[in-house]
Amino acid sequence: MKELLRDLCLLDGVPGYEDEVANYIAEKAKPYADELIRDELGNVIVFKKGEKRRPAPALLCAHMDEVGFLVCDFTADGMLMIDSAGGIDPRVLIGRRMKVGPNKIRGIISLKAIHLTTPEERKAAPPLERLYIDIGALSKEEAQGLVQVGDPVTFESDFIEFGDQCVKAKAIDDRLGCAVLLTLLSEPLPYDTWFVFSTNEEVNGFGARVAANRIRPAYCVTVEGTTAADMPDVPKHLRSTAQRAGAAVSIMDKGTIYDIALRDKMTAAATREGIRWQYRASLNGATDASKLHLAGEGCRAFGIANPTRYIHCACNVAYLPDCEEVLKLARLFIKETGEN
């Protein structure tokens, strides 16, 4: 699965511009799909038959998009003004290498030098509207010849292995989920299953909503990246998840109250099977489950997440054994939801 994760993280897919990722996923999924759909919102929806039929559909969902930016204006001297597509902390941006537009024009997120700032400016992180991208253009006209308003902007970031089985890359949230779903698609399945690779999760989750309305599942699971808060300056009781503790199981977030009976069934089965798991002990954020569980007459939702450090920036960090536990738990979801 590591090679899949590497390939996926090196692709670019700001919300609304997921085609590069979707094309790769569709090509990888095609040999294993009994049905493959590219819908009007750009979702890749795959159905694969299992050894047994289900009385009602179940789906696994991972989102293809990543946080990034859109070009919104130009300065007179050729700098790009940007707005965010997804939640990004401006403190992590200064000096970052970026790629702009379909031609992947290289640029740097810039700010005036410290020598030119006032004492007051140095006390606070600059807001996004004070940052700009330098693409080497010397005028507005030159910049407009290279990119245009509305072009997507993504981090330029390598996939690097380091430390004890750690990897660093952009977009581990949620290309790890996509890698998990592609891995499961390549395996024999005990039951018929739907796989949704969704668009727009980082801004509104409407891709998942449309996919769920098509399938009307009885069970769904999101396979996500979530904040690993095992950091020196975070008190232990506020650490929502920790790396090296296995897959994270969601209880509740700002979009979903996950089905209690399904959660208990899954965690009991995971413990029985020796899968390492932990609770995601935070109510912050939301996932595609917020849209999936409202499809049709309602859907029983389960949430699996990979504890990821430095989420929503250019250098997400994941611990590969945790990723394997996420895969095992997603595989178990297919089995357990078919037996009830």
Q: What is the model's pLDDT at position 89? A: 86
Same domain, 293 and 182: yes
Same domain, 319 and 228: yes
In a domain, 324, yes or no: yes
Average pLDDT of the chain is: 94
Same domain, 193 and 309: yes
Q: What is the model's pLDDT at position 215? A: 96
pLDDT (tens digit, 9 = 90+) per residue, 219-261?
Answer: 999 999 999 988 888 777 777 898 999 999 999 999 999 999 9
φ/ψ of residue 326, rounded to 5: -60, -45
Average pLDDT of the residues in 52-77: 96
In a domain, 165, yes or no: no
CATH assignment of the domain containing 306: 3.40.630.10
Average pLDDT of the residues in 158-174: 96
pLDDT category, 340, cuts 50, 70, 90? low
pLDDT (tens digit, 9 = 90+) per residue, 309-332?
Answer: 999 999 999 999 999 999 999 999
Give the span between the Cα atoms of 221 and 223, in whole angstroms.
6
Neighbours of 169 (CB within 10 A): 23
Q: What is the model's pLDDT at position 123? A: 73
In a domain, 161, yes or no: no
pLDDT (tens digit, 9 = 90+) per residue, 100-153?
Answer: 999 999 999 987 677 767 777 777 778 888 899 999 999 999 999 999 999 999
Q: Which two tokens stand for residue 128?
A: 């996004």
Cα torsion for 231, 236, 239, 244, to the nearest 10°?
70
Beta bridge partners of 98: 107, 155
Q: Which among 71, 205, 197 has a CA at the least distance from the CA of 144?
A: 71
Same domain, 203 and 259: yes
Neighbours of 261 (CB within 10 A): 9
Same domain, 113 and 207: no
Same domain, 334 and 246: yes
Same domain, 293 and 238: yes
Q: Please give the angle made by the CA atoms of 200, 203 and 206, to the nearest 5 degrees.
A: 45
Among the candidates 96, 127, 155, a domain finishes at 155
In a domain, 98, yes or no: yes
User: Between these two residues, 162 and 116, which has the higher pLDDT value?
Assistant: 162
Q: Which two tokens stand for residue 242?
A: 């920790």
Residue 278 has pLDDT above 90, yes or no: yes
Among the candidates 114, 129, 155, a domain finishes at 155
Q: What is the model's pLDDT at position 44? A: 99
Same domain, 178 and 291: yes
What is the share, in percent, of the chain residues with pLDDT greater than 90? 82
Pairing of strands 219-227, 58-63: parallel
Which residues, other chains included, contact 266 with Cβ-Cβ below 8 Å and sequence gap of 6+? 249, 302, 329, 332, 333, 336
Give the span between the Cα atoms of 8 and 287, in whole angstroms.
20
Q: Which two tokens stand for residue 147?
A: 């990119």
Residue range of the domain that includes 29:
2-66+170-338
Domains of the chain: total: 2
In a domain, 304, yes or no: yes
Same domain, 133 and 203: no
